[in-house]
Chain A
Amino acid sequence: MKKYLAMFLAAVCLFACFGVTAFADDPIVIGILQDTTGGTATLGKSVQKGVEDAIADINAAGGIGGKEVQFIEYDTAANVDTAIAAYIKAVTVDEVDFIIAPPIANIVNGLKAMTASFDVPMITLAVDPACYKDENGNIYSSLFCAQPSTTVQGTIMAEFALQNGFKNFGVFYTKDNSYSVALLNPFIDTVREKGGALEEANIIGYNSTETDISTLIKPLIDAGVDAIYCPNYTAPLVLIKKTCDQLGYTGAIITGLDGAPAFNTQVGADCSNVYYINNIDVYEEATEKMIEERCAEVGAPNKYFLGYDSMQMAAKIMEEVGTDAAAITEKLSSYSYEGMTGVISIDPETHMPVDGTPMFMYKYDNTTPVMLQKYPAE
């Protein structure tokens, strides 16, 4: 009997030892929840590549606190139902420690209520401030954003346009795209506040399914505006640019993040009248090098860098506080991190970066991007 007891105790000891060692070697698991199929897959895949590269870099540098970082990919299929199922799988079945979520407001809006019941920290790139608040205006504690909000971006574009001498504006936005709609009011308000002309009749919304852009945009050109603000995705932008050229429009086209390359190659013509905003300075040495080395297959380089930074920021925090969800969210809500896209300082009030995270305004010289101005000015 004693023999059995001894054996049993030995077994327990052995098991405990293995258990502990297994625990010590337990890797940190990151859930990459992105739209890798569906309408916004180009963005999702770019973020995913950024996060994966960051994880590879972190592991090459010895992991987080000696622990290896692993990742599991989840596809939202650009669909709220699938996203929620994937989220639940990530936090319950796979028990991930951290989630990097897509740059799509609709998905985050669908997910946010769920995050309250699981408390796994999640960084998203959706730029609409409403994504981080519940219906009473309270912030969701474990939900964060790593890129400047639409308010910041819209304001910058308006200020930039006014400084560059544009006075009479038109707006052509996509009604069925939340990114486009969210960028609308910050721009309009800033332009009007600072003395630019923007008539109500010159604000035209359209649906991305529309086949006849020409008829819709003609009134703007006939009204003689000298800049059209188009906060749209790349595919409609290419169409808008082509249509404007065909209609003989010579004024400026101011776009959001999606006017960045590969927009120029896709238009395949002179883009000198196109201005756009970006998260990165592509001529900054380190950034330029990274784009050259790693972004050959990346559809949206800025999203790559945002993904990369989000992951690095998460790793930095976990290095400091470990993988306890509450400690991470606590730390993250007032964290400041200097990454490839500049200093990201999270505001505890909004869970988004405070004003001052850099953005850059570009234009094209024929088809070559030219960086014109950094915001905030130094």
Chain B
Amino acid sequence: MSLQILLNGISTGAVYSLIAIGFALVFNILKFSNFSHGATMTASAFIAYFLVASKGWGLAPTLLCSALSGAIIGLIGEFIGFRRILLNHSAPTYFFVSSITLGTLYEGLVTLKTGTNFYVYPNFFDVATVKIFDAVVSKENIIILAISAVALIILAFIIQKTSIGRQIRAVSFDRDTAKLMGINSTLIIQVVFAISGFFGGLAGCFLGIKFTLTSTLGSLVVKGFIASVIGGLGSLTGAVIGAMLLGIMEALFLSLWGSGWATIASFALMLVFLLVRPQGIAGSNVQEKA
């Protein structure tokens, strides 16, 4: 494996890890796969495009706008999609269906606004590239990697060291007991959705920069799912490791077997993980009732 492929893999993995984190956060707390996450990414990337980037305000405001829109969409989603189901104590399967529906709704709304035209973020960087030994890396990938790393470190700090982080961990461990201990679990769930949306917004914006903005951008959320399965559903560290691993593996498969087989190979990789180590790399903290 050449250095170039490794670097390509890492830069893809960086975005995957943002997706996987947003996904894992919600899974952690409500124990379901949030399929609306992809459409949240798309919607926030588009909002940032229309409100900020198309006016030529540069990268930082665009990123911020996208992330904040993501957070807001996350909150709205929690309210219209999941709140009542949670209060009704309906089966977790309803969360799942609700998330698919929410995703459809967001995607429909984006399509209504944009049609299927695709949009391209203005070039935030000159196409200048950096040479590392004999490999070429574009500046945008380096910056994406750096920002992702910083965002993830801040998140880790929040989860591990702050009061709100402890509450999140408590609620994800056992919602009812946490409630009895005086934690406002509804508020915590809202916070988690907002953070998840925030990361979704970041990921969406990065995807828009790396690729093009289309209303189906969100389908890349699948990569986040696979990554968090490899890492261990619900584990945040695992999600990042899984995403990096997936990015590198994909780059490797692509260079070896070309497009198409690479997708099948990463699916096979996921299957192997599920069979051999269903708890994922990190070993998840999801408790099985059975």
Task: Say if the two chains contact directly (CB < 8 Å).
Answer: yes
A299 interface residue (CB < 8 Å to B): yes
The reply to whether B136 and A246 form a contact with Cβ atoms under 8 Å apart is yes
A-B contact count (CB 8 A): 90
Other-chain residue from A45, A205, A218, A242 in contact with B127 (beta carbon distance below 8 A): A242
A282 CB to closest chain B CB (Å) equals: 20
**Nearest-neighbor residue (CB-CB) of A245 within chain B:** B127
Knowing A45-B115, A234-B118, say if A212 contacts B8 (CB, 8 Å).
yes
In whole angstroms, what is the CA distance A235 to B251 when docked?
21
Least CB distance from A93 to B in Å reads 27
Alpha-carbon separation in the docked complex, A268 to B119 (Å): 11
Tell me which residues across on chain A come within 8 A of B219, comparing CB atoms. 209
Q: How far is the CA of A182 from the CA of B268 in the complex (A)?
A: 31
B223 contacts which chain A residues (CB < 8 A)? 211
Residue interface bits A145-182, CB-to-B below 8 A is 1, else 0: 00000000000000000000000000000010000000
Q: Please name all residues of chain A whose beta carbon is closer than 8 Å to the beta carbon of B262 when the two chains form the complex.
A: 210
Of the candidate stretches B160-168, B193-201, B253-261, the one touching chain A is: B253-261
Q: Which of B5, B123, B220, B251 contacts A268 (CB 8 A)?
A: B123
Residue of A nearest to B137 (CB): A246
B122 at the interface (CB under 8 A from A): yes
Indicate if B146 sits at the interface (CB-CB under 8 A).
no
Q: Mark A209-240, 1 if CB is under 8 A from B, else 0.
A: 11110111011000000000000001100110
Chain B residues positioned under 8 Å from A37 (CB to CB): 111, 115-116
Q: Are B123 and A207 in contact (CB under 8 A)?
A: no
Q: Which residues of B contact A (CB under 8 A)?
A: 4-5, 8-9, 12, 111, 115-120, 122-123, 127, 129, 136, 138, 210-212, 214, 216, 219-220, 223, 247, 250-251, 254-255, 258-260, 262-263
Give A residues with C-beta under 8 Å from B: 37-42, 45, 175, 204-207, 209-212, 214-216, 218-219, 234-235, 238-239, 242, 245-248, 266-269, 299
Q: Would you give 27 A-B contacts (Cβ < 8 Å), ordered by A?
A: A39-B216, A40-B116, A41-B115, A41-B117, A42-B117, A175-B259, A204-B259, A206-B260, A207-B259, A207-B263, A209-B219, A210-B262, A212-B8, A214-B8, A215-B4, A215-B5, A215-B254, A219-B255, A235-B118, A235-B214, A239-B211, A246-B127, A246-B129, A248-B129, A248-B136, A266-B119, A268-B120
